[in-house]
């Protein structure tokens, strides 16, 4: 019989059989090296299913044989996905679904990562005494405790001084501990707000390894590449020594120190405590690990009227009451807002599962509806956009450090307010008005937190850093305390947070932001989508001509505002609308960040500001539709 190259021909079948044989051998080798019986058994069962029969049967075959072939193909596809390569270690560390195989989060992958990190630290501090110190923390997700213990065992075995945090603490406590304990590195096992099937591995560097303004922040290039290279040199899990003991465990005093530091941000006078006691707060930890620490901080600052959403109060790695444990996601804070309406609260605070993000909801009279009497909507409850909360906290920082504050510095030496390039431009205008400097960074707190002179930084994805001297990362708990303090002070004055947003609109123009995201199952479509936009960008957005298109991956430093190259496109229109499109760094998405600005007179009435907000919303919706059309969504 002659060879054929069409689909299903003998040549292609032999090639497929050869590829499968190579993959099957790789799977067996991994199983033999897997230290976890659970994931080894999982892979063994997948392999048995993949070898249970042919992948193709004749069209006339029985339904049982056809289903069997389908199951075999599915098992092989699953194994091919799990073995497409080692889970990539980058500036976000590791993140992926918990399962067996090199392209998943599991003990074998974590042991390799810890070995690579250890080799990197020993290389950086070669000949330096004492030995490198690493602090390790973890949340309550599936596998977190095992991954933290494996990290401690691997690092201890090579002579590194490892300090384990108590179980189930928020990410900000780990970030604090890196600087507080003078550690050279920190590891936090968490997938933050990812779905329940995921876990992750964040790495911080400080101590003697990073000594500039990035000390204690998450890794950035070229550090991530150097650690990844060391991970790539690990031949097998069996080759990695692991100690049975030898690391130390810090006690509750680390949490005491963190709480004391956070409380240093608050006004703790008797007058302030009386104000705080009068504020009714609803808090949800969203099944995460931040609830206990957040309640303790609020209580010690005088917020005694705090109502916790019972169904979301305790850590639960399955996140049973939310489809996606991220305060930004639709429906995620519905239970909290419903409770707020029931108890007549003044403020809702929502932490994500590792408490590094903080969402907030407030009553906005302009959002009231009569469609649901007695419900939260009838009261006007709405969640603040991340940029709105960012502006409120920015106004607090401007008050604390601005030109009118005691000990304020000249503009050239003034402290810095910073936000990511995709966040609102309003913070820059707040900083300028207060005589402070402003900086824009690439997306991610690994960039924001290492800005020289930083006193406050944020990104629109609910990440806020209000105390960078002690926590060089986003911190939902300190942000929650600061926001609650502002709300209490405003309530004592007969005002509300939305009034401050209106004041900022009168002073700087009404800035309204939104986001459009497209999730992809085929990751190759992400670069294709970006390239299509580069080649065929919109020429008009919401009726306003596009005056500027900057490819953030190319162009000059001036075009990119001095930022390093990054995969993204920025559009500016004649009416000052801005659109930035970029692939997500942590999810299979293309994200579009939209901002419109509507001028508002300095002495405009509340009604006029409300009309400006409606006009901005209508323009933003039109921009959103035009961007979606340009992306083919």
Q: From CA 621, how far away is CA 254, in angstroms rounded?
A: 47
Picking from 324, 332, 287, the residue whose alpha carbon sits closest to that of residue 140 is 287
Mean pLDDT of 37-66: 91
Asked if residue 152 has pLDDT above 90, the reply is yes
pLDDT at residue 3, as a whole number: 37
Cis peptide before 406 (omega within 30 of 0): no
Query: Tens digit of pLDDT for each residue in 389-405?
Result: 999 999 999 999 998 77
Cβ neighbour number for residue 43 with a 10 Å cutoff: 24
- Give yes or no for residue 212 having a pLDDT over 60: yes
Q: What is the pLDDT of residue 21?
A: 93
Distance, in Å, from the CA atom of 570 to the CA atom of 593, rounded to the nearest integer, reads: 9
Q: Is 488 a residue whose pLDDT tops 90?
A: yes
pLDDT of residue 478: 98
> End-to-end distance of the chain based on CA atoms, in angstroms?
48
Average pLDDT over residues 302-320: 98
Q: DSSP alpha helices (H): ranges in 314-369? A: 334-343
Tokens 């997500």 sit at which residue? Answer: 584
Domains of the chain: residue spans and CATH: 18-82 (no CATH), 94-251 (3.40.120.10), 252-508 (3.40.120.10), 510-633 (3.30.310.50)
In angstroms, the CA 211 to CA 205 distance is: 9
Q: What share of the chain is helix, strand, coil (3-state, %, to 5)?
A: 40, 20, 40
Helix (H, G, I), strand (E, B) or coil at 194: coil
pLDDT of residue 8: 53
Question: What confidence score (pLDDT) does residue 1 get?
Answer: 32
Query: Would you place residue 4 in the very low, low, confident or very high pLDDT band (cuts 50, 70, 90)?
Result: very low
Dihedral of alpha carbons 498, 504, 510, 512, sign: negative
2 pLDDT band (50/70/90 cuts)? very low
pLDDT at 205 over 60: yes
Reported confidence tier of residue 13, pLDDT bands at 50, 70, 90: low
Residue 621 has pLDDT above 60, yes or no: yes
Catalytic machinery residues: 192
Distance CA 203, CA 215 (A): 12
- Give the chain's radius of gyration (CA, Å): 26
Task: Compute the residue count for the chain.
Answer: 633
User: Which range is least confidently modeled, 66-70, 276-280, 620-624?
Assistant: 66-70
pLDDT at position 7: 46
Residue among 95, 92, 93 nearest 104 (CA): 95
Residue with tokens 């401007």: 398
pLDDT confidence of residue 554: 86
Burial class (CB in 10 A: 0-12, 13-18, 19+), 238: exposed
135: confidence class by pLDDT, cuts 50, 70, 90: very high
Least confident of 170-179, 199-208, 410-419, 569-578: 410-419
> Distance of CA 232 to CAs 94, 241, 282, Å?
14, 16, 47
| Digit-coded pLDDT (tens) for 523-565 | 788 888 898 889 999 999 999 999 999 999 987 677 778 888 9
- Which segment of 93-102, 242-251, 329-338, 587-596 scores lowest on mean pLDDT? 587-596
Q: How far apart are CA 444 and CA 178, in angstroms?
A: 19
- pTM (2 d.p.): 0.93
């Amino acid at each position: 019989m002659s060879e054929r190259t069409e689909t299903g021909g003998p040549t292609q079948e032999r090639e497929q059989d050869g590829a499968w044989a190579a993959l099957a051998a790789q799977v067996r080798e991994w199983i033999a090296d897997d230290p976890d019986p659970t994931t080894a058994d999982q892979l063994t069962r997948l392999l048995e299913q993949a070898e249970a029969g042919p992948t193709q049967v004749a069209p006339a075959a029985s339904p049982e044989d056809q289903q069997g072939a389908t199951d075999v193909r599915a098992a092989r596809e699953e194994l091919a996905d799990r073995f497409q390569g080692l889970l990539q270690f980058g500036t976000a560390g590791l993140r992926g679904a918990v399962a067996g195989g090199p392209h998943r989060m599991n003990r074998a992958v974590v042991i390799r990562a810890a070995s690579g990190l250890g080799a990197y630290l020993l290389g950086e501090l070669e000949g330096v005494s004492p030995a490198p110190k690493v602090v390790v923390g973890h949340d309550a997700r599936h596998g977190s405790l095992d991954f933290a213990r494996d990290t401690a065992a691997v690092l201890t075995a090579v002579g590194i001084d490892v300090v384990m945090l108590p179980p189930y603490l928020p990410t900000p406590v780990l970030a604090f501990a890196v600087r507080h304990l003078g550690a050279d590195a920190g590891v936090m096992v968490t997938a933050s707000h990812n779905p329940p099937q995921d876990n992750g591995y964040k790495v911080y560097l400080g101590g003697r390894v990073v000594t500039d303004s990035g000390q204690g922040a998450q890794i950035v290039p070229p550090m991530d590449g150097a650690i990844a290279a060391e991970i790539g040199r690990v031949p097998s899990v069996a080759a990695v020594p692991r100690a049975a003991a030898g690391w130390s465990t810090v006690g509750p005093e680390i949490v005491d120190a963190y709480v004391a530091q956070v409380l240093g941000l608050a006004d703790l006078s008797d007058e302030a405590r009386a104000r705080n006691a009068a504020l009714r707060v609803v808090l949800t930890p969203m099944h995460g690990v931040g609830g206990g620490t957040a309640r303790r901080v609020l209580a010690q600052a005088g917020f005694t009227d705090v109502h916790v959403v019972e169904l979301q109060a305790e850590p639960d790695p399955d996140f049973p009451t939310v489809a996606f444990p991220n305060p930004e996601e639709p429906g995620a804070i519905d239970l909290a807002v419903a409770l707020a309406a029931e108890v007549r609260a003044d403020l809702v605070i929502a932490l994500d599962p590792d408490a590094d993000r903080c969402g907030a909801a407030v009553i906005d009279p302009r959002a009231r509806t009569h469609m649901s009497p007695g419900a939260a909507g009838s009261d006007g409850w709405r969640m603040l956009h991340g940029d709105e909360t960012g502006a409120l906290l920015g106004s607090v920082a401007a008050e604390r450090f601005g030109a009118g504050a005691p000990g304020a510095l000249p503009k050239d030496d003034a402290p810095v307010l910073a936000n990511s390039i995709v966040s609102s431009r309003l913070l820059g205008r707040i900083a300028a008005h207060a005589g402070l400097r402003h900086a824009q960074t690439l997306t991610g707190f690994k960039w924001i937190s290492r800005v020289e002179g930083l006193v406050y930084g944020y990104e629109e994805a609910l990440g806020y850093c209000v105390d960078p001297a002690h926590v060089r990362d986003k911190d939902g708990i300190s942000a929650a305390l600061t926001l609650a303090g502002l709300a209490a002070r405003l309530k004592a004055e007969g005002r509300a947070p939305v009034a401050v947003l209106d004041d900022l609109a009168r002073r700087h123009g009404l800035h309204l932001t939104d986001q459009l995201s497209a999730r992809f199952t085929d990751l190759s479509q992400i670069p294709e989508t970006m390239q299509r936009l580069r080649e065929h960008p919109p020429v008009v957005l919401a009726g306003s001509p596009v005056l500027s298109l900057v490819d953030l991956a190319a162009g000059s430093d001036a075009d990119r505002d001095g930022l390093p190259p990054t995969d993204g496109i920025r559009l500016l229109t004649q009416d000052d609308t801005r659109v930035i499109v970029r692939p997500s760094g942590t999810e299979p998405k293309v994200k579009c960040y939209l901002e419109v600005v509507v001028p508002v007179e300095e002495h405009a009435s509340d009604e006029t500001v409300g009309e400006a907000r409606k006009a901005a919303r209508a323009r933003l919706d039109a921009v959103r539709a035009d961007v979606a059309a340009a992306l083919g969504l």
